[in-house]
């Protein structure tokens, strides 16, 4: 994936000023930044949710994007399994074994009749992580993925990312904490709309 000279402003206020980044298969990129620094905006542009004012995001043909950006959205009055099946069926045949495995890894009960509206922040976050990876997506974008997770779930997330790296995924993670054990291949700071190497 090649990101070239991305700019974005809101109400005349520049948020991203010429962001460029190259990401290869197996890269895990860390982006640090204060709230409002533009991390979520950048991920949304990469995912195609937002349009940049200028610049390009070139993604290799055939690569799919999985993303957890800001608060994951779900059909609130349905179960977690219903939500996963609904998302899966938008593009692919539902793979119950893979989804069941991911639920077990994150200590969620796929058979629960509880609606997502009754899930805690941490449980919703786990669902968001699962939906980002369950279709074997090639490019993975995570915005504060460890928010609300306990230590066990953070470890599960770290192990999952390491395994996905071995599979050659391209991964970007924006986070404040809970990711210290992840073997990032590059670290950046997003500040005042520019991306700089994080010492």
3-state secondary structure (DSSP) of residue 31 = strand
Beta strand pairing status for 54-58 and 2-10? antiparallel
Cα gap 123→83, rounded to integer Å:
13
The answer to which of 81-95, 105-119, 122-136 has the lowest mean pLDDT is 81-95
Q: Region 58-72: what's the mean pLDDT?
A: 91
132/95: higher pLDDT = 132
Q: Region 3-16: what's the mean pLDDT?
A: 95
CATH number at residue 144: 3.40.50.300
What pLDDT is stored for residue 176 in this prediction? 83
The model's pTM? 0.92
Cα gap 99→87, rounded to integer Å:
12
Decide: 6 and 18 in contact? Cβ < 8 Å.
Answer: yes
In the chain, count of helices (H) and strands (E)? 5, 9
Q: Quote the percentage of the chain above a pLDDT of 90.
A: 82
Q: How far is CA 47 from CA 43, 60, 63, in A?
A: 6, 13, 12
Structural domain that includes position 162: 2-197
Q: Is the alpha carbon torsion for 178, 83, 170, 98 positive or negative?
A: positive
What pLDDT is stored for residue 199 in this prediction? 64
Instruction: Give the total number of structural domains in the chain.
Output: 1
Residue showing tokens 């995570």 = 142
For 76-85, the pLDDT digits (tens) are 999 999 998 8
3-state secondary structure (DSSP) of residue 154 = helix
What pLDDT is stored for residue 198 in this prediction? 85
């Amino acid at each position: 994936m090649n990101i070239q000279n991305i700019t974005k402003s809101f109400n005349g206020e520049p948020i991203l000023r010429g962001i460029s980044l190259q990401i290869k298969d197996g890269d895990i990129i860390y982006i640090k930044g204060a709230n409002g620094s533009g991390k979520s905006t950048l991920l949304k542009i990469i995912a195609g949710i937002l349009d940049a004012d200028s610049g390009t995001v070139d993604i290799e043909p055939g690569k799919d994007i999985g993303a957890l950006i800001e608060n994951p959205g779900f059909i609130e009055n349905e179960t977690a399994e219903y939500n996963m099946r609904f998302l899966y069926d938008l593009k692919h045949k539902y793979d119950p074994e893979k989804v069941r495995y991911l639920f077990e890894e994150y200590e969620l009960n796929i058979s629960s009749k509880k609606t997502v509206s009754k899930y805690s922040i941490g449980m919703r976050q786990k669902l968001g992580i699962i939906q980002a990876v369950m279709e074997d997506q090639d490019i993975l974008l995570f915005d504060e993925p460890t928010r609300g997770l306990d230590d066990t779930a953070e470890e599960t997330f770290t192990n999952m990312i390491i395994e996905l790296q071995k599979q050659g995924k391209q991964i970007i993670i924006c986070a404040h904490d809970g990711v210290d054990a992840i073997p990032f291949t590059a670290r950046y700071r997003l500040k005042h709309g520019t991306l700089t190497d994080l010492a």
